[in-house]
């Protein structure tokens, strides 16, 4: 339906032949493949790292502990798109168009300011409402998971503040920087989790 609406609207503006031309451009294809590999690898690293950590959690503390761990992970998954989708939708195309210019850097600065305000608001709200949200989304049996939320939310905040820099790097096609950031993020997450959970239990994850 969306594609159909797009075609109908575009045909009123200009002929489709002006927009879509059959052909092959090796430089564009090379750029697209490099971009796709960077996004694919970075997108796969985080869940792979999380699975590795969860395997260790089950091995050390059992399946019930892993169930409690799902609560902070799920809370993160619920509210993250509200912060990140706007960032990707606005900042990435703007930086791609503007490049490393003062205007492009202004987009980065604006994104950081907005994400700080939005993340702070969301995190404070979750901290205040956690004892209501967890039973509402799961059951009272999962209430012990609320003690994991403060540590998770501190990590979330740092993640949100750092994310605009990775989007900026991707917008400038600095794929090595983008990929290095996500590889580093995943390695630190795994290493820190493995070390800390032996000292402070699930909070370490």
The whole model's pTM is what? 0.80
Dump pLDDT digits (tens) for 153-167: 999 999 999 999 999
Dump pLDDT digits (tens) for 182-196: 999 999 999 999 999
Question: What is the mean predicted confidence (pLDDT) over 92-102?
Answer: 90
Instruction: Return the pLDDT at 150.
Output: 94
Strand, coil or helix: what is 24? coil
Q: How sure is the predictor about 169, in pLDDT bands with cuts at 50, 70 and 90? A: very high
Is 26 a residue whose pLDDT tops 80?
yes
- C-alpha separations of 24 from 27, 28, 29, 33, 72 in Å: 9, 8, 8, 13, 46
Dump pLDDT digits (tens) for 103-136: 989 999 999 999 999 999 999 999 999 999 888 8
- C-alpha separations of 2 from 7, 8, 9, 90 in Å: 9, 10, 11, 20
Instruction: Return the pLDDT at 94.
Output: 92
Mean pLDDT of the chain: 90
């Amino acid at each position: 339906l969306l594609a159909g609406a797009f075609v109908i609207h575009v045909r009123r503006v200009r002929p489709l032949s002006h927009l879509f031309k059959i052909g092959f451009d090796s430089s564009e294809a090379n750029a697209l493949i490099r971009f796709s590999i960077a996004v694919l690898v970075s997108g796969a690293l985080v869940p792979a790292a999380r699975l590795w950590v969860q395997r260790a959690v089950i091995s050390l503390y059992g399946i019930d502990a892993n169930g409690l761990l799902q609560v902070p992970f799920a809370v993160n998954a619920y509210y993250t798109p509200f912060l990140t989708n706007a960032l990707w939708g606005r900042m990435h195309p703007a930086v791609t168009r503007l490049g490393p210019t003062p205007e492009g850097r202004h987009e980065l600065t604006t994104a950081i300011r907005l994400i700080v305000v939005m993340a702070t608001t969301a995190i404070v709200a979750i901290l205040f409402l956690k004892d209501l949200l967890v039973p509402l989304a799961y059951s009272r049996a999962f209430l012990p998971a609320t003690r994991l939320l403060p540590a998770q939310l501190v990590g979330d905040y740092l993640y949100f503040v750092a994310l605009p820099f990775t989007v900026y790097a991707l917008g400038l096609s600095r794929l090595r920087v983008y990929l290095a950031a996500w590889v580093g993020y995943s390695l630190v997450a795994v290493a820190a989790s493995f070390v800390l959970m032996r000292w402070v239990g699930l909070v370490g994850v």
